Structure 1
Amino acid sequence: MTNKRFFLEHKAALYSIISLFLRVFTGPLSIFFITTKLTLDNQAVYYTFISIAAIQWVFELGISTSLVQVIAGSTENNKKRAYIKFACLFYSGVIIPLFLCMFLYANWTFDNINNGSWFYPWLLYSLFVSLNVSVNVFYIIEEGDLNINKVYKIRLITGGIYSFSLLLALFLGFGLYSLCISQIFMYISSIYFFRKKIRYVFCDIWKEKSEPILYSVKSILRFQIKISLVWIFGYLYWNFYSIYFYKYVSVDFSALFGASNAVVSSIAIAMTSWTQTKRSIFSKMISNNRYHESWLAFRKTIIFASIGYISLALLFVLIVNYIPVSYSERFFSANIMTSLILMRFIILYHELILIYLRAFQDEPLYKETLLNYIVTPIFVIIAALFISDFYIFWVSFIIQLLFLYLYIKNGYLFFKSKSKSKSKSKSNVYR
């Protein structure tokens, strides 16, 4: 295979790798500016901003995941147009409720700050977070049509613009306003890249006949209810730490967690992004009954993600040990950092398994996932109250290991049942 052919066949994955290196480079750099340009209190507020804004996933309800799978697996244009219309209605309607919810949530979280220094930065930040959520509809359309290269090229460029504008704003001393500045630049660049698709959707799609929108909603309802529950409780699971630490442990501990978790999570997210580039391909393979082929493709992503995560996490630990104390003291100590890295590594495996199984247009492990999302925060609170801050992430690590066993076992049983049912239906056809 020539280099040119390899590049053409793996463009999306290569864009994802470039995004990975961009994240690895800009992540620590942004943290450097955060820890040097902001006070420890504002560092805590900065990362709490991000955790509050993540409630967008509750409002998003995993709709994007469901729609990408069903659009990619659909061969009828009438159905595709119905799904697109539903996506447009949903994302247009979610902007105002999301903005209002984030505003009230922030008021409750920051009620201990008397000077109101957080208010205007948060107002702008939450507004453009809400607007950027609405842009997801165009990513869904492109990825559902298997334009994966275009999707990840745009994600790469807009992500680069976001990172550069964030770094520049932090460097110039805009403080908490830096987050809203980066969201504004990302929104403007996204609108620019999707300008033709916007005209196509609102000028052409709505004029063309399609299957009734209500029918398209009903066809994905079973899958959507499961994934929505996972998304709603997932907010508690993913962002519980920052909010709980800020409100009930200490502002300083919250600041240290924010900086440490930002690096570790950015590495893990970069690894899941690699798998995300393959999800519509998995869906297409599975819809064509190429189960074994889809499994082999997924196994390769697991190997890459594991090697990438371990390598970059070790590099991060090494860097923290050799940087000046004035910078390194803004992160967790080595012992707590180790438990955080190991915990996030196990969670990475959870995420990869769920991404692959969703390609079957189902959420087979939603019960296990919901239980995990409820049990983990409870045990973390117990550890924080009655044991020690040192053991918080070790407790979570042990819980995640137990759930990983359930994910692997039940995920394998689901895969086996699906492949068997398809092979039986094939044999009946031949008879």
Structure 2
Amino acid sequence: MKRIKKYLANFGLNEAVFYTVLGRLLQGVGGLLIVLMVSQFLSKQEQGYYYTFSSILAIQIFFELGLSGIIVQFAAHEMAHIKIDYDAASFLGNEKNLSRLSSLLKFTLKWFSYMSLILIIILIIAGFIFFGYFGEKSSGINWKSPWVIVSVSTSFSLIVNAILSFLEGIGKIKDVAKLRLFQIVTQLIVLALCFVLGMKLFAFPIANLLALLVSFLCIIFSAKLQLLKKLWEIPTIYKVNYKKEIFPLQWKISLSWISGYFIYQIFNPLIFIFEGSVAAGRMGMTLAVINGILLVSLSWINTRIPVFSNLIAKNEYSQLDKLFNRTVLQSTIISILGICIFIIGFFYLQYFNIEYYRRFLPLPLIIILSLGYVINQVISSLAIYLRSHKKEPLLVYSVVSAILICSSTFFMGKYFGIDGIVDGFTIIIAIICLPWSLHIFFNKKKEWHSK
């Protein structure tokens, strides 16, 4: 057992990564089961609504505004000078760092509480306008009630995810990974049960809402709540100044995140408009598998964010680069292996003429789209490294990339359909985005670490 643990540790698989990866694997395997259930229990039109739901729900990015990642980084920087006394369920450190950490917690909960209330109103209105105007009115699909429920759960998720991000920032990475794992299992079980019971488009909204409630209750009835209470009670003599510290970073990251929406979430809504719900469903199902694979591989990077931030706070750049380079290599290998398995599995379905393959994009498009997403994973890893410095040097890059890809998706989709959308996306990612992001990465790293 010790040898196994040592071998896994050499590949970057510590406990936090293990639970995160296990959760992503369950999410990936569960995602494949969901793909099968969607094919089995939903019509092709309903499949289009199902996956377009997710793309429109992603407008929560406009309300989250990159703050969850900033919370992790800021909390981790303060925790570099703070220790947790688990016996007394309290924090030990100098007054300034403790006070700033307490102020960050209070700001986090207030911000996301307000944003969740605004989000639920915007989502409901946006969904009714979009599906009411572009949806097939003769299809008889009941989408209104499911949309309301999923809007509520998405808004509630802002608060839950904010708490989890803060806990990650103070070093509770393993505990958060376990909780997210439990949330994923709950969601998959409830989703499968809802599908079997014939709840159609209600399945995802109900499963998502119940999984979030379970996660929230797990936080409430755990020792983590006592830690947060202790931290809340610390007087905030020294505060994290939102205008001077968070906002200068947040507005840049938020523009990058919003740009990300127009890069990766605009596919399904535009396909829904140009080619209808069936075509949107094929793109949605293909992306569901690809994103599931990348969720697993990115776990290696995402679980290292607090560690990166700690090393940066201590100016230990040599150790930082060594850890980052190894982690990126591991993450990329996992993503490539996962994509290869997906392609082989699709080829098997197509070769034996198993009907499920018709719910996906054609094989050539799957290969091209997968290439673009794997390249983008590398770019995302570079962005995580740079943003761990509490800086955002990718603002112009993100905005320009979003404009290029969004324009390409619109015009190529309008005149060449899904083939044009996929080709345009991958060409821009490979020829423009990758070289540009690498240039920024190496220049900024040299600039920041030479001071």
One-letter code aligned to 1:350: I
8 Å CA contact 2:99, 2:235 repeated in 1:
yes
Q: How does 1:15-414 map to 2 (within 5 A)?
A: 15-74=19-78, 75=81, 76-111=97-132, 112-114=135-137, 115=140, 117-195=142-220, 196=222, 199-200=225-226, 203-211=229-237, 215-323=241-349, 324-401=353-430, 402-414=432-444
8 Å CA contact 2:259, 2:401 repeated in 1:
no
Q: Give CA-to-partner distance per residue, 1:233-286, whole Å, 9 cap, x none.
A: 222222100111111233221111011111011111222222110000000011
One-letter code aligned to 2:145: Y
Does the C-alpha gap of structure 1 residues 331 and 92 become closer, same or farther in structure 2, counting only changes over 3 Å? same
Tell me how far 1:169 sits from its aligned partner. Answer: 1.7
8 Å CA contact 1:159, 1:186 repeated in 2:
yes
Q: Supply the distance in 2 between the matched residues of 1:42 and 1:304 (Cα, whole angstroms).
A: 37
Tell me how far 1:201 sits from its aligned partner. Answer: 7.2
Higher mean Cα deviation, 190-199 or 126-135? 190-199
Helix, strand or coil for the counterpart of 2:234?
Answer: coil
8 Å CA contact 2:300, 2:327 repeated in 1:
yes
Higher mean Cα deviation, 385-394 or 310-319? 385-394
Does the C-alpha gap of structure 1 residues 275 and 96 become closer, same or farther in structure 2, counting only changes over 3 Å? same
Structure 1 residue runs without a partner (length 5+): 422-431
Q: Supply the distance in 2 between the matched residues of 1:140 and 1:170 (Cα, whole angstroms).
A: 31
One-letter code aligned to 2:162: V
Tell me how far 1:126 sits from its aligned partner. Answer: 1.0
Q: Supply the distance in 2 between the matched residues of 1:287 and 1:375 (Cα, whole angstroms).
A: 36
Does the C-alpha gap of structure 1 residues 265 and 202 become closer, same or farther in structure 2, counting only changes over 3 Å? closer
Q: Give CA-to-partner distance per residue, 1:100-120, whole Å, 9 cap, x none.
A: 111111112211343461011
Tell me how far 1:56 sits from its aligned partner. Answer: 1.3
2:92 is aligned to none
Does the C-alpha gap of structure 1 residues 102 and 318 become closer, same or farther in structure 2, counting only changes over 3 Å? same
Does the C-alpha gap of structure 1 residues 198 and 119 become closer, same or farther in structure 2, counting only changes over 3 Å? farther
Q: Supply the distance in 1 between the matched residues of 2:223 and 2:146 (Cα, whole angstroms).
A: 31
Structure 1 length as normaliser, TM-score? 0.92
Q: Percent identity?
A: 24
8 Å CA contact 1:357, 1:411 repeated in 2:
yes
Tell me how far 1:382 sits from its aligned partner. Answer: 2.0
Tell me how far 1:29 sits from its aligned partner. Answer: 0.8
Q: Supply the distance in 2 between the matched residues of 1:3 and 1:164 (Cα, whole angstroms).
A: 34
Q: Give CA-to-partner distance per residue, 1:127-146, whole Å, 9 cap, x none.
A: 11111221122212211111
Does the C-alpha gap of structure 1 residues 4 and 88 become closer, same or farther in structure 2, counting only changes over 3 Å? farther
How many residue pairs get aligned? The number is 421
Q: Supply the distance in 2 between the matched residues of 1:91 and 1:29 (Cα, whole angstroms).
A: 33
8 Å CA contact 1:85, 1:213 repeated in 2:
no
CA-based RMSD of the aligned residues comes to: 2.1
Tell me how far 1:361 sits from its aligned partner. Answer: 0.7
Q: Supply the distance in 1 between the matched residues of 2:143 and 2:72 (Cα, whole angstroms).
A: 37
Q: Supply the distance in 2 between the matched residues of 1:251 and 1:116 (Cα, whole angstroms).
A: 11
Q: Supply the distance in 2 between the matched residues of 1:351 and 1:150 (Cα, whole angstroms).
A: 24
1:428 is aligned to none
Structure 2 length as normaliser, TM-score? 0.88
Q: Supply the distance in 2 between the matched residues of 1:50 and 1:403 (Cα, whole angstroms).
A: 25
8 Å CA contact 1:365, 1:411 repeated in 2:
no
2:91 is aligned to none
Does the C-alpha gap of structure 1 residues 135 and 30 become closer, same or farther in structure 2, counting only changes over 3 Å? same
One-letter code aligned to 2:184: G
Tell me how far 1:24 sits from its aligned partner. Answer: 2.5
Does the C-alpha gap of structure 1 residues 86 and 173 become closer, same or farther in structure 2, counting only changes over 3 Å? same
